[in-house]
Amino acid sequence: MRDELPITAVTVHPDGAWVTRAGVLDVVGGRATARRLPFQLDESAVEASVDGAVVSALQLSLDTLGRDRGDEPAERQALLDAKRAVERIDHETSGLQTLRATFAELVPGPRRNNDRRGPPTAAGVATWLSVEATVDERIEAIDARLADLERARRDAARLVSVREQAVREASSEAWWRRWRPSRALTLQLSGLDDGPANVTLRYRVRAARWTAAYTLNLDGALTRGRLVLRAMVAQTSGEDWRGVRLTVCTAPSGRNAALPELPALRLGSVSPKTSTGWRPLPADLESLFPDDPVLRAVAPPATRPSPLAPTPPPAPPEPAPSYDEDEDDEAGDLVEEAAVRAEPLAKKSTNIFHGGPPSPPLGASMSAPGAPPSMAAPARSRSSAAYEGAAFGGGGGGGPRPQAPKPMPQELTYDPGLQGMDYGRMRLQALDAPIGARGRFTPRSIEDELHERGGDAGATARLHAALAEQAQAQTSLLHLSLPLHHAVPDAIEGVYASFTAEAPLDVPSAARFYAVALREVPLDLAVSYRAVPREDPRAFRIATAKLKERLALTPGPMDVFVAGSLLLTLPWQGAAGGAEVRVDLGPDDALKLSRNVRYREETAGLLRGDRRLFTRVEVRISSSLPRPVSVELLERVPVSRDDGVKVELVEALPALEVYEGEPRGARLEGGRRQRVQVPASGEGLAALEYAVTLSNKQELLGGDRRG
């Protein structure tokens, strides 16, 4: 029977992932069941659709079928094979060493003193010589085989180390399916006959995260390039994603993307309230149950003790009070009346609903319209020991008198804001429940569900181990530190984005980041050169890549490769429009700069009482590049803050531009920029001359000689 859906697509968000499974399930009796779903999926975020049918209800439960849920992991089986190979080599080596020692003893040695045999004859010596040659040949063959086995032993030992490392780094998904319970989803279908059906299932897991990374590949001539979008993905959902269509998204996984419903406004009449699946409890709910303690004493228990909890010792019987004959007859009539009334009332109490519609056949749907958000449910009481009556005693013609119920410390109430609308996971308290709990829904724990399905002690141990493993995996993933220069994906200037991988990818279930390549973006590359000769005699390269499509790129590290070699790794701040990417590639050794400053002074003014200070800056650029380039030179000129001081430009070659700094950087006062065209394997020259006029009583801050 087909009851498992393969994973086809996964969308990873910063706080979780949506997993899509699609395949064929067998429909029997209008129901289809998908098994082996991850144990830690979000029960409040499950979607299902079936081709040609309507999903009327769905129920998520524990999948407790069998203990051996899969084959031995491939990595562990390979390790066992490698160890067996080492054992075989050791056994063969031991046998050959024993055989060699046996052949070595066949070589004739010196005669002993007590040997009564006579001297060796010629025939005996010839026989020993022939035997010795044969033994030598055998020993040489054994030695050659032992040498081969020694080399094979070293190779096998290295393979064992490799296999052990693979087992340590492998995910726990195989052991998860083999030893731990999973989830099962049952769909109630209408409009479809029994047989195969195409089913698509989507659910959310919280144990997943990702961060962005980029790779910029440039050719040696810096004329062409491409930008590779990458992602570092980590997940501990308990299932490996093998060959899935992976998508990463910067938006949160749990955000509500549904359109708001606009209520109708009516003039002259009140708009009807929106109907929900919850109805408040009736005010006289307790009046539906009898107050007679005898009825509660003879009512069958609605719950059984949990096998997880120890069985309490039986309470000692209380002494039965004495009654007279009239009281005994009255008690007997009361017991007969209780026997008649108890059965219909007990049946009626298990069908009481909170004034709303009945529960669907398979339990409530995972998402009911108009339902309040599901939250943690309050604890419920399963014991009715506080309300049990006294046992009937015999002898003396006396009968028992029932004891009055003990008061509850706190009355249990139903709060829809706390328990939600998942009626399939609740149980209705019957007649023997305490006052305040009868006729009310109480949540059912996962241990209760396992007991209802007949789980034994081994299944309970596996369940608790799975819960502990799930908590540990989520904690490990939550505290997993991001790699260097990485950041948590978020909206870029209010824009969310998603990127889909071009090829199927694998992401194992392990608390570590795996690097995956999503797609390549073509770009138009332009390289410019910038220099600040006053501070550094080198020219720095700036690559400007213009993407051919607009993308909202999130911050992350960028690896820059030039001609296949890693040049540098730098933190990139991303771009909302994604139209242009600017990357600093560092200095270019093929360009050399030399800066010379000349200073002269003249008198100025009508009475020659002023001074005019001239500063001329010349920059010569030598290039060994095989192509012409344009170099941008940055300089600063004095800025006057006094009306009596005048700064004027005398000469600029090439033309001078005002430079106030980068768009996101600090403002630069007095900045100037020149663009020099340098021919291939040639030289370029830039000149800048300015004059500062001031009186003889003034001088420039820092000295008259500038530059």
Tell me the pLDDT tens digit for each residue of 36-75: 898 888 888 899 999 989 998 888 888 766 444 555 667 7
The whole-number pLDDT of residue 645 equals 84
Residue 531 has a pLDDT of 94
- Among the residue ranges 227-231, 265-269, 414-418, the one predicted with the least confidence is 414-418
pLDDT digits (tens, 9 = 90+) for 8-22: 999 999 999 999 999
Which tokens go with 654?
Answer: 């090439």
Tens-digit pLDDT profile for residues 445-483: 777 877 777 766 767 777 787 788 888 888 888 888 898
Distance (Å, rounded) from C-alpha 370 to C-alpha 359?
16
Q: What's the mean pLDDT when you consider all of the chain?
A: 75
pLDDT in tens, 626-669: 889 999 999 988 888 777 788 888 999 999 899 988 877 778 88
In SS3 terms, 325-375 reads as: HHHHHHHHHHHHHHHHHHHHHHHHHCCCCCCCCCCCCCCCCCCCCCCCCCC
Q: How far is CA 54 from CA 31, 48, 189, 604, in A?
A: 11, 10, 6, 96
* pLDDT value at residue 61: 83
User: Who contacts 52 (Cβ-Cβ below 8 Å, separation ≥6)?
Assistant: 191, 192, 197
User: Could you tell me which residue, 13 or 397, shows the higher pLDDT?
Assistant: 13
Checking if the pLDDT of 707 tops 80, the result is no
Averaged pLDDT, 428-437: 80
Q: Please, what sign has the CA dihedral across residues 380, 386, 387, 393?
A: positive
CB 236 within 8 A of CB 473: yes
pLDDT at 17: 94
Q: What band does 624 get if pLDDT is binned at 50, 70 and 90?
A: very high
User: Which pLDDT score is estimated for 110?
Assistant: 52
Task: State residue 473 phi and psi, 5-degree precision.
Answer: -65, -40
pTM, rounded to two decimals? 0.60
Residue 242 and residue 177 in contact, taking contact as beta carbons nearer than 8 Å:
no
**Rounded Cα gap, residues 113 and 104, in angstroms:** 22
Beta carbons of 142 and 103 less than 8 angstroms apart: yes
Which pairing describes strands 565-572 and 426-428: parallel, antiparallel, or unpaired?
A: unpaired
Q: How confident is the model at residue 410 (pLDDT cuts 50, 70, 90)?
A: very low
Q: What is the pLDDT of residue 172?
A: 57
Q: What percent of the chain has pLDDT over 90?
A: 26
608: pLDDT strictly greater than 50:
yes
The mean pLDDT of 159-178, rounded to a whole number, is 72
**Residue 234: is its pLDDT beyond 90?**
yes
Q: How far apart are CA 571 and CA 93, in angstroms?
A: 57
Those residues whose C-beta lies under 8 Å from the C-beta of residue 319, and which sit 6 or more positions away, are: none
Q: What percent of the chain has pLDDT over 70?
A: 71
